[in-house]
Amino acid sequence: MNLILAVILRLAVWLLLAPLLPGIINKVKAWVAGRRGPPVLQLYYDLAKLWRKGVVLSTLASPGFIAGPAVAWVALLGAAMLMPLGPGGTALSFRGDVLLLIYLLALARFCTAWAAMETGSAFEGMGAAREVSYAVLAEAAIVTAVLSLSVQTGSVSLVTMLSPSAGAGAVLLAAGLFTVLLAENCRVPFDDPNTHLELTMIHEVMVLDHSGPPLAAILHGASVKLLLFAVLLIQAVLPLGALSAPAAAGALVAGVLAVTVGVGLVESWLARLAFRRVPLLLTTAFLLCLFALLVAWKGGAK
């Protein structure tokens, strides 16, 4: 009974709090620009509206057009449930769960790209190709960051990996993971979620033909993914395991808020990169995580 209650509480946290992050980012961007901006709860209103709308289907679309967003949403939620929440830990922990986390993120990306190509649109196929090409380098950085945590803690379980003391490579790991967060969540300088020019879109062009509940699942899944990477970043670099339970919970909440505000500031101060420069930035993120891995390896060898 306690396990069921813990799962329900964690599920509620991920489902209900995730849409806050895009609202905070948009509020920060509006504040920097001197505007009032949309309300922080705007995504909640949009999701409620989309769930009440019908679905417009292309005559070329197969059932995969609907199944893709649904499977991607379930995969992202499953990955989120594996992620520990500070002192609360996780209700679904086992040896090697970090490998399942990586595969679930890859499955969500595959299903989103699959659904995009179901419409037969050249624009959506172009966006899917760009998304997958960026993912090759982004996933390399994620795997390297995971290896760094594994070497530092000697474990392949997320609960153990994400409760270390801050090591010498924490700054390198933070910079690499923050760059990956921007890439994985299609934020500036990799992508512009507010763009309306199809030739420069990546993620947004992949969901142009979605409507109603499938689009709501995509938008909510994107917010869950953003929260997941923010939690991963904070727990990977802050020594939460050395703090008391209330202090660790407060540090986690403050850290996630700081990362969210940081994303908003980056989008306000930086312009989107040209496509030819994106691989260079992702390679830099991979190298930062690789240097953090080397620091953890050499530090453990002493």
The tokens of 152 are what? 């530092």
Which of these, 115, 117, 95, lies nearest to 107 by C-alpha position? 115
Question: ∠244-245-249 over CA atoms, to 5°?
Answer: 115
pTM of the predicted model, to two decimals?
A: 0.95
Give the model confidence (pLDDT) of 118-161 as tens digits: 888 888 888 898 899 999 999 999 999 999 999 988 899 999 99
Q: Which two tokens stand for residue 50?
A: 């989309």
Give the pLDDT score at 15.
96
For the chain, the domain total comes to 1
The per-residue pLDDT for 101 is: 96
Residue 249: partners with Cβ closer than 8 Å, 6 or more residues away: 86, 87, 88
Contact call for residues 105 and 79 (beta carbons, < 8 A): yes
Query: Omega before 246 cis (within 30°)?
Result: no
Q: Identify whether the C-beta of residue 289 lies closer than 8 Å to the C-beta of residue 177.
A: yes
* Residue 258 belongs to domain spanning: 2-301
CA distance 20 to 254: 14
